[in-house]
Amino acid sequence: MSDYVSYMEEHGHEQLMVFGDASTGLRGAIAIHDTTLGPALGGLRIWPHATEHDSIMDVLRLSEAMTLKSAAASLDLGGGKAIIMRNAARDKTEALLRSFGTKVDSLNGKYITTEDVGTTTADMQWVARETNYVTGLPSESGGSGDPSPMTSYGLYQGLLATAQYLWGSDDLSGMRVVLMGLGKVGNYLLPYLKGEGAVIYGTDIDQDRVERAQNQFGLVPITPDEVFNYECDIFVPCALGGILNDQTVPQLQCKAVCGGANNQLLEPRHADDLAARDILYAPDYIVNAGGVINVFHEIGRSYSAEEARRKTGQIYNTLTTVYENAKAENISTDEAARRIALSRIDSVRKIRRAR
């Protein structure tokens, strides 16, 4: 436990809640990073990490990323994340989700949950039986529905901004794009890429997804072993995090990395490694903010898809500012994005202290 406390102190976390319920099989954690701007919003993952330590470190890292994501997107939200240490396909039940809902409710609104890896908008309905602090409910229940389409739209805006910055045009026609991961976000991105006339290469651990993308969108399949060293213009990682590391960065044969996966950098220094190789990095919490923007517009109001899409479209300008600031200040794009987010948090914190 001392390792977690030290990590939390170093990274500015406010709270870590570890919980269990033997009657339902519930075992998990909720991490709350920062609530300066508002309640900590973050998804619930149901994922069987190899160890409990890996699960807890995952939510600690992801909750911090959620703080930065919401701050940079000018949302009145803090950062949180939750995990249930179970296999979603085998162990997910109504009782498990409702038991989790009671844990969320015990935090009295400090944390708001939503769907993530291993959970769905339908699952959120079970959670909502036990707490009001849930968003991302199905559209037929008055919610915003699956946030993945909006995440993909924001990623599309990030790709356009990246092309504009690098090549002076946001026309993706003929652009060689390598897509790693064809799940929700990657799948919803495909129509945008095809519509733009991009040349799409891709891979996924699920071969059915690859074949579907090949048949519907003209994707050229590549193997998982090829994904990092395949020559392309933009590498688009849309699977799990930590994929930009000491082993993979030297392999990359691209001009830019702009993807929807969370926590793509294993460590912040890997942003410097990318810059040293003259590879432009689009900070993940800037370009994949469409999902949190979408569910934010459901909280305490009547959901408007048009307003959520308009706000998500601003990712283009935000990312452009990140690129320009990084160049002007001779820092990595990751550091430039972090400064934008932390500046907003610090400004609000000063206002509250002055009251």
Active-site positions read: 81
For the chain, what is the radius of gyration of the CA atoms? 20
Which string of b and e fits 247-284 if b means at least 16 CB within 10 Å?
A: ebbeebebbbbbbbbbbbbbeeebbbbbbeeebbbbbb
Q: Determine which helix (DSSP H) or strand (DSSP E) holds 16, and give its type and residue range.
A: strand 15-21
Using CB atoms within 10 Å of the CB of residue 225, give its burial: 0 to 12 exposed, 13 to 18 middle, 19+ buried. exposed
Angle at 55 between CA 51 and CA 56, to 5 degrees: 115
CA atoms within 13 A on the CB side of 280: 22
C-beta of residue 231 within 8 angstroms of C-beta of residue 251: no
In degrees and rounded to multiples of 5, residue 292 shows phi and psi of -70, -35
C-beta of residue 179 within 8 angstroms of C-beta of residue 219: yes
